């Protein structure tokens, strides 16, 4: 059987897998664009074949990384737009839906940025973990409002996404102090807000984000520092409304230690979970494009946005 998944879809899937494309919102944007390419460059001669090709492309993309729910949410959104009686109609509808999805994603991020910025006061110091475009949208909006914001940026081992955050904050004119992850508690005394993003938000208000977020949140609560999660509604996990759990990605151990050094240590077992779960009691506010929510009430928004739908359109 010939491979009908477009090479561009395979390239994007590969880039998500290797984290050339990373971060929940960026992954969603790339996946929606890849489905558009699958539709537009398809040589399918009938609607059933084209729909099957789109489902196969979506499966290729969804299998890359398991935790960021923005990925299946994006694919679901675009595939539901694959309506039409003819191949041409489906092409047009997928193109329009994918374009609309990407525009909505941008708009949601800038709208949530305004909400998050309202929580930040002139002179505030934030602490960040990993690199989140939703979280940075809040800082950017605050800076645009004329507020002076400073940041303490955790480097975020093992992949050091904190370096990306440091660079982007510097480009916004925000003074940055970079710290190793284990120094976070020491510096929480100087901080007005912990500000992080999310890969998924569960129906009970738990926040799934980069490994280390939960420890940071517990320490911040202990210090009385508010914890703000910037997460557009694309990060809400509909499956958790019906009892599904969020799969936590385990990544290669060579991100933590190279083989030679590992052997020198007597080859201990290495574990490299990419994400963890922060219980709702450690989160003060989830900031979305629909306003800010206490974590316990996020399920109301989930019901409104997703209904009780949990079936996946890429399943045959």
Residue numbers at the binding site for ligand RUB (CB under 6 A) = 22-26, 68, 130, 132-135, 161, 197-199, 209-210, 274
- Comparing CB distances to ligand RUB, the nearer of 34 and 94 is 34
User: Of 178, 171, 133, whose CA–CA distance to 151 is shortest?
Assistant: 178
102 is catalytic: no
53 is catalytic: no
Tell me how far, at minimum, the Cβ of 211 lies from ligand RUB, in Å.
Answer: 8
- The answer to whether the peptide bond before residue 24 is cis (omega within 30 degrees of 0) is no
Among residues 29, 124, 199, 284, the one annotated as catalytic is 199
Tell me how far, at minimum, the Cβ of 46 lies from ligand RUB, in Å.
Answer: 37
CA distance 179 to 250: 25
Tell me how far, at minimum, the Cβ of 183 lies from ligand RUB, in Å.
Answer: 19
| Interaxial angle between packed helices 133-144 and 87-119, expressed in degrees from 0 to 180 and rounded to the nearest 10 | 60
Cβ contact 101:75 at 8 Å? no
CB within 8 Å of 169: residues ≥ 6 apart: 128, 136, 139, 151, 153, 176
- Comparing CB distances to ligand RUB, the nearer of 26 and 292 is 26
- Comparing CB distances to ligand RUB, the nearer of 50 and 77 is 77
Give Cα 214 distance to the centre of its chain.
16
Among residues 102, 130, 134, 284, the one annotated as catalytic is 130
Cβ contact 210:129 at 8 Å? yes
3-state class (DSSP) for residue 201:
strand
Tell me how far, at minimum, the Cβ of 44 lies from ligand RUB, in Å.
Answer: 32
- Comparing CB distances to ligand RUB, the nearer of 28 and 39 is 28
Residues with catalytic roles: 130, 199
């Amino acid at each position: 059987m010939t491979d009908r998944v477009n090479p561009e879809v395979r390239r994007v899937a590969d880039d998500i897998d290797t984290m050339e494309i990373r971060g929940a919102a960026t992954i969603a944007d790339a996946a929606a664009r890849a489905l558009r390419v699958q539709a537009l460059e398809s040589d399918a001669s009938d609607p059933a074949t084209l729909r099957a090709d789109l489902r196969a492309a979506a499966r290729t993309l969804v299998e890359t990384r398991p935790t960021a729910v923005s990925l299946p949410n994006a694919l679901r959104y675009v595939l539901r737009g694959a309506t039409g009686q003819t191949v041409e109609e489906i092409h047009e509808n997928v193109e329009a839906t994918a374009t609309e999805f990407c525009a909505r994603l941008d708009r949601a991020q800038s709208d949530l940025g305004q909400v998050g910025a309202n929580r930040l006061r002139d002179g505030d110091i934030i602490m960040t973990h990993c690199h989140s475009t939703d979280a940075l949208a809040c800082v950017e909006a605050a800076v645009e409002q004329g507020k002076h914001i400073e940041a303490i940026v955790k480097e975020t081992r093992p992949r050091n996404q904190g370096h990306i955050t440091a660079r982007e904050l510097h480009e916004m004119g925000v003074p940055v102090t970079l710290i190793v992850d284990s120094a976070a508690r020491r510096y929480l005394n100087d901080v007005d807000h912990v500000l992080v993003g999310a890969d998924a938000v569960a129906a009970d208000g738990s926040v799934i984000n980069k490994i280390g977020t939960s420890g940071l949140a517990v320490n911040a609560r202990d210090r009385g520092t508010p914890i703000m999660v910037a997460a557009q509604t694309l990060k809400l996990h509909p499956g958790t409304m019906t009892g599904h759990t969020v799969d936590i990605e385990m990544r290669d151990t060579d991100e933590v230690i190279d083989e030679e050094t590992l052997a020198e240590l007597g080859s201990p077992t290495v574990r490299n979970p990419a994400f963890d779960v922060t219980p709702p009691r450690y989160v003060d506010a989830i900031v979305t494009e629909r306003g800010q929510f206490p974590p316990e009430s996020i399920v109301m928004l989930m019901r409104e946005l997703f209904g009780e739908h949990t079936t996946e359109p890429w399943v045959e």
